Each structure stands twice: as structure tokens, then as C-alpha cells.
Amino acid sequence: MVKFLLFLLLFFLCWPLALVGLVLYPIVWVLLLPFRIVGIAVGGVLELVSAIVFLPARVIRAI
């Protein structure tokens, strides 16, 4: 809701800039999508590595 109100304020103050932002937002979102996917994959790999590293300590603690 806040983003929409900010957009309306921008539209009221400078409507050409608001329309350019409205057109460019989906294009920028699509261009940044691969970076989000890579970030999710890297986060998953780091979680896996940390689970493998801490596995011996968990096994010893369970005994």
C-alpha cells in the first residue's frame, strides 16, 4: 500500500517519470530474476555444506 501511495505521489509530482518507472519496473524485474535464482541456489549449497560440517558434532552430541 505504501508503494502505491508513493507511486501516486510521484505521479502527481512528475507523471512522465512515474510512467517511465511503471514501464521499466517489469523489465528490470525480469533482468534481475537470474540473480535471485543464483542467490537461492548458493544459499542452499551453503546450508548443505554447513549441515555436512556440523554432522559429526550432532552425532557425537546424540550419543
DSSP string, the chain: -HHHHHHHHHHHH-HHHHHHHHHHHHHHHHHHHHHHHHHHHHHHHHHHHHHHHHHHHHHHHH-
Torsion, Cα 35 37 40 46, to 10 degrees, reads: -70
pLDDT tens sequence across 10-23: 889 998 999 998 99
pLDDT of residue 57: 87
5-62 confidence digits (pLDDT tens): 988 998 899 989 999 989 999 999 999 999 999 999 999 999 999 999 999 988 888 8
**Which residues have C-beta within 8 Å of that of residue 24, sequence separation ≥ 6?**
none
Residue-level pLDDT at 25: 92
